Amino acid sequence: MNRPADIRYLFEPRSVAVLGASADRSKIGYRLVENIVRGGYAGKLYPVNPKGGELLGQKVWRSLDEVADEIDMAVIAVPAKGTYQAVEQCARHGVKHVPIITSGFSEMGNAEEEHRIVRLAREHGMRVLGPNIFGVFSAKSSLNATFGPPGIQHGSVAIVTQSGALGIAMIGKTAVENIGLSAIVSVGNKADIDESDLLTYLMADEQTRIVLMYIEGVQHGERLVATLKQAAIKKPVVVVKSGRSKRGAIAAASHTGSLAGSDEVFDAIMRQCGVMRGESLEEAFNWCKFLAAAPTPRGENTVIVTNGGGIGVLATDASEKYGVKLYDDARLLKETFGSVTPDFGSTKNPVDLTGQAGPQQYDAALAAALASEHIDATLALYCETAIFDAQNLAGMIRSNADAYRKGGKPIVFSTLGGEMTESCIGVLRKESVPVFGEVYQAVSCLGALYRQRRHIAEYSDAVDEADIDIGLVEKAVASARAAGRTFMLPRESRELMRAIGVAMPQNAVAHNLDEAVKAAETIGYPVVMKIVSPEIIHKSDAGGVALDLENKEEVIDAYQAINVNARRYKPDARIEGVEVSQMLVRTTETIVGARQDKAFGPTVMFGLGGIYVEVMKDVAFRAAPLSRKEAQLMVKEIRSYPLLLGVRGEKRKDIEAVVDTILKLATLVRRCRAVSDIELNPLVVYDHGQGVKALDVRVLLSSSLSSND
C-alpha cells in the first residue's frame, strides 16, 4: 500500500492524460481533450486511444505504457467494462489522480466493481475522483478537464458538486451571473475522494475566496465536520443540500431517532460548523457573488435608505429574518441624515427620502451613511417613481457602489419597478454590482456577511469532554450484550447513569408484595411503580406504570394491578419484579438524547421533553464533540428556552446542570460507540443550583460493535 497522492496534484497537475480521447466530436473523450487544449492548460497533455494518430494538434498515444513522462492526472472516459483495465494502466504508470468520468457503477447498483477499482488505486497510492463525474476545472492550472462548457471564467469561487448535471448547469449560471471560478469539481459517487479532501486544498488555496458545495448525501460525516470547522473560519463555505423532505427521516425506536430526521441534523451541524446553507441554488449563488466581493464590515450597524415606506417595512421584516441589526440611535441618525432628508421624510431607520427623492438625494444620503463612523453597512432601496427616472438609476447605483467599494463599506441595492428598472438590474449584475429585484434577496446577502463575521469572531476549537467512568460504562454494556440484548434493562441503565454521573430518583426493585411495601416506606411517599421485564419496553402501554402512590394500600393495589396488566399484555413475558421509586415533583421537563447518526456519527439532542416531545419538535442538535459554549447555545436555541429562565415569577432553572448532562451524553456516545441511542426523557430540571434528575432512561446498543468500537 503506497502513501496516498497529495490532493494538490488534482488541482495543479503538471501532466494530464485522457484515456478514451476520441476524434469523434460527439464523444465525451473528444470534448475533454478540446476543453483542455482550448482552455490553455500549460502542463503536458497526453491523449490516449488505441488507434493513435493526432487530435487537435496533439499526438495521440496508443497506451499510457508508451509515455515516458510522469503523469499526475489521468482522466478516464472509457466505458465501464474497460475502466478497471484503464485504471490498471494508470497504476502501472504511477499516476497520482484518476478522475473517472464513466457512469455505470454504484449509482446503478454496481458497487462491487467500484470497490475493486478503489482497492486497486489505493494499493498504488492513487486517488480516485468519482466515478460518474463531469470532471475537474482548476483556474490555477488553466485546466478545464471537464466535458462541460468551454471558456469558464476565472475567479475566486470554488464549486464542489455531487450532481454532475447540476454542476454543468452551474457553470452556465456562473457565466450568466459573471461569477468567476477558481475551481469546479464533480465528486459523483465519492468512491474515494470526497468533500473533505477537496476542502483541505481549497481552504488553503489563495485564489479561492469562497466555497460552494452541492451535497446530496454525507458519508464520512465526522471527518467532514472537522474539516468544515477549519474551513469556515478561513473563508465562507456555502452549502446547498437536497432532501429537506421528511422521507429521509429515520424511523427509529427512540424519540431522538425519530426527531433526528437527517435534514434537521444536517442543518444544525452545518450551523455548528459555521457553514451557510442556502435555501435554494439562487440564494447560494447570490451569497457567493456578494461575499466574494464585499468588504468585511467593521460592525453590524446597518441603515436602510429608501424612497418608499412600504419597501422599507419589507426590508425591516427581512432584516429580522436574516439577523441584520438595524442601527437605531435616533439622535445620531438625525445628525447624519437630517440635512439630506425632506421635512416630511424620516431620519429614523429606514431613512425615508420619500417619493420625491431623485439621484442627488440618494447620492447625498448614501454618502452620509458612507462617511458615518457609526454605520457599518447600507441597504439602498428604490421604487420606480416619475421623479426619479429609471434611466438615471444605473448611474446612481454604479457610482455609489464604487464609492462604497473604495471606502471599504458594504452596500446592497434593491430596486423595484418596470421594464427599465429590470433591465438596469440585468446590466448591473453583469458588472457584479450587488443589486437585486427582491428585497429579501438583498437582505439575505447582508445577513450572510454578518453571519460569517460573527462566526469568525466567536469561533473556538475548544472541546469539553465530561469526566465519565468508561470502565463502568463498558461493564453495563457488556451485561446487556452477554444476555444477547440490544437494549439495557433499567438496572443497567441506572449503572450507566452512575458511570456518567447523572442522578436518577431513589429506587429499589421488589420481587414480592412485602418487598414493594418495604421499599416504598424506605424511599418515602409518594412513590412510582413500574414493571421490570425485558420483553416489555413500552411500560405505560402495557399498564405497567402507576404514579403518585400515597400510602401502603395504594402500593398494594398498584403492585397487583401492574402484574395482572403485564401478564395480560404479554402472557409469556419474563417479569423480573416491580421497580419502586421516588415520585418527584415534576417541574420543567426536558429531553437529552445522543446517538450514532448514520451520516455524522456521535450527535446530541436537547429539547423540551415529556410526552409532547414529538408533537412540539422543539429540539436542537449538534455533532459531538462539542464545547460547553456550544452546549449552552444548544439550550438557548429551543423555542421553550424562556421556561428554563423561569416564567411568571418562577425561579431560573439549573441550566448549567442541563449543559453538563448534554456534555456527559456527548462524551458517552463518542467514547462508547456501542451505545447507539440514549435518551433521558424526561430530564427534570430543578431550580438553579439544585440539579437535574433523569426520570426515565432508554438505552439502545448497536448489534454488531464491541463496546468501544
Residues in 358-417 that interact with ligand ACO by CB under 6 A: none
Least separation, in Å, of the C-beta of 190 and ligand ACO? 13
Site string for ligand ACO, 688-707 (x = CB under 6 A): --------------------
Q: Is 78 in the site for ligand ACO (CB under 6 A)?
A: yes
Long-range CB contacts for residues 333-339, cutoff 8 Å, separation at least 24: 333/303, 336/368, 336/369, 336/372, 336/374, 336/375, 337/365, 337/368, 337/369, 339/364, 339/368
DSSP letters spanning 76-125: E-S-HHHHHHHHHHHHHHT-SEEEB----SGGGT-HHHHHHHHHHHHHTT
As a whole number of angstroms, the distance between CA 447 and CA 467 comes to 39
**Radius of gyration of the chain, Cα coordinates, nearest whole angstrom:** 31
Per-residue binding letters, 81-100, with ligand ACO (x by CB under 6 A)? -x--xx--------------
Using CB under 6 A, which residues numbered 47 to 66 contact ligand ACO? Answer: 48-51
Candidate segments 101-109, 440-448, 605-613, 619-627, binder of ligand ACO by CB under 6 A: 101-109
Tell me: cis bond preceding 682? Omega within 30 of 0 counts.
yes
Interface with ligand ACO, residue 108, by CB under 6 A: no
CA atoms within 13 A of residue 587's CA, in its CB half-sphere? 19
CB of 59 to ligand ACO, least distance (A): 14
Residue of minimal Cβ distance to ligand ACO: 164
Grid coordinates in use for 197? 479532501
Site for ligand ACO in 651-680 (CB under 6 A): none
The least distance separating ligand ACO from the CB of residue 50, rounded to whole angstroms, comes to: 6
Q: Which of 13, 15, 20, 287 binds ligand ACO (CB under 6 A)?
A: 20
Residues 6+ apart with CB under 8 A from 423: none
Q: How far is the CB of 136 from ligand ACO (least distance, A)?
A: 12
Q: Which residue from 19, 95, 276, 680 is in contact with ligand ACO, where contact means CB under 6 A?
A: 19
Give yes or no for residue 24 binding ligand ACO (CB under 6 A). Answer: yes
Tell me the three cell numbers of residue 700. Answer: 439502545
294 belongs to the binding site for ligand ACO (CB under 6 A) = no
* Residue 603, beta-bridge partner list: 595, 623
Report helix, strand or coil for 397.
Answer: helix
**What percentage of the chain's residues is helix, strand, coil (to nearest 5)?**
40, 20, 35
| Shortest distance, position 170 Cβ to ligand ACO, whole Å | 11
Which spans in 134-261 are helix H? Answer: 164-176, 195-202, 221-234, 255-259
What single-letter DSSP state applies at residue 647? S
25 near ligand ACO, judged by CB under 6 A: no
Q: Shortest Cβ distance from residue 149 to ligand ACO (Å)? A: 12
The Cα–Cα gap between 692 and 254 comes to: 21
CB of 108 to ligand ACO, least distance (A): 11
Pick the closer one to ligand ACO by CB: 131 or 274: 131
Q: How many residues bind ligand ACO (CB under 6 A)?
A: 29
Per CB under 6 A, the list member of 77, 293, 368, 695 interacting with ligand ACO is 77
Footprint (CB under 6 A) of ligand ACO, residues 266-285: none
Which one, 110 or 479, has the nearer CB to ligand ACO? Answer: 110
Contacts of 221 (CB under 8 A, 6+ apart): 269, 597, 599, 600, 601, 623
Q: In whole angstroms, what is the distance from residue 593 CA to residue 614 CA? A: 13
Asked if 29 interacts with ligand ACO (CB under 6 A), we say: yes
Q: How far is the CB of 593 from ligand ACO (least distance, A)?
A: 39
102, 156, 286, 452: which one binds ligand ACO (CB under 6 A)? 102
Which residue stretch of 72-80, 434-442, 654-662, 669-677 sits at the interface with ligand ACO (rule: CB under 6 A)?
Answer: 72-80
The DSSP line for 398-434 is HHHHHHHHHHT--EEEEEE-SHHHHHHHHHHHHTT--
- Cα separation, 546 vs 387, in Å, equals 77
Give, in order, the Cα–Cα distances in Å from 651 to each of 145, 587, 643, 657, 684: 64, 11, 10, 15, 14
Determine the Cα–Cα distance for residues 431 and 405; give it in Å rounded to an integer. 13
* Dist. CA 308–CA 362, nearest whole Å: 12
| CA distance linking residue 39 with residue 48, whole number of Å | 19
Residues 153-192, one symbol each (x = binds ligand ACO by CB under 6 A, - = not), give: -----------xx--x------------------------
Q: With respect to ligand ACO, which residue has the nearer C-beta, 102 or 441?
A: 102
The residue range among 45-53, 242-250, 514-522, 617-625 that interacts with ligand ACO, by the rule CB under 6 A, is 45-53
Q: What's the min distance (Å) between Cβ of 394 and ligand ACO?
A: 37
Residues in a beta bridge with 146: 135
Binding of ligand ACO by 559 (CB under 6 A): no
Q: Is 27 in the site for ligand ACO (CB under 6 A)?
A: yes
Q: Of 134 and 388, which has the nearer Cβ to ligand ACO?
A: 134
Q: Which is nearer to ligand ACO, 27 or 405 (CB)?
A: 27
Which 608-627 residues touch ligand ACO, going by CB under 6 A?
none
Do the beta carbons of residue 705 and residue 673 sit within 8 Å? yes
Query: Which of the stretches 80-88, 177-185, 468-476, 569-577 binds ligand ACO when contact is defined by CB under 6 A?
Result: 80-88
Q: Does 103 bind ligand ACO (CB under 6 A)?
A: yes
- List, as own/partner pairs, every contact residues 175-178 make where C-beta atoms lie below 8 angstroms and the sequence separation is at least 24, other chains included: 175/149, 175/151, 177/285, 177/289, 177/429, 178/153, 178/429, 178/430, 178/431, 178/432
Select from 9, 11, 46, 134 the one that contacts ligand ACO (CB under 6 A).
134
C-alpha cell at 384: 420606480
Shortest spacing between CB 294 and ligand ACO, in angstroms: 32
Nearest to 373 by CA among 293, 299, 448: 299
The nearer residue to ligand ACO, 171 or 433, going by C-beta atoms, is 171
The CA-based angle 462-464-467, given to 5 degrees, is 155
Q: Does 236 bind ligand ACO (CB under 6 A)?
A: no
- Minimum CB distance to ligand ACO smaller for 77 or for 231: 77
- Contact in structure between 11 and 201 (CB atoms under 8 Å): yes
In the complex, minimum distance from the CB of residue 280 to ligand ACO, in angstroms, rounded to a whole number: 21
Using rule CB under 6 A, residue 574 touches ligand ACO: no
Q: Closest approach of Cβ 100 to ligand ACO, in Å?
A: 8
Compute the residue count for the chain. Answer: 709
Least distance between ligand ACO and beta carbon 175 (Å): 17
Contacts to ligand ACO by CB under 6 A = 19-20, 22-24, 27-29, 48-51, 77-80, 82, 85-86, 101-104, 132-134, 164-165, 168
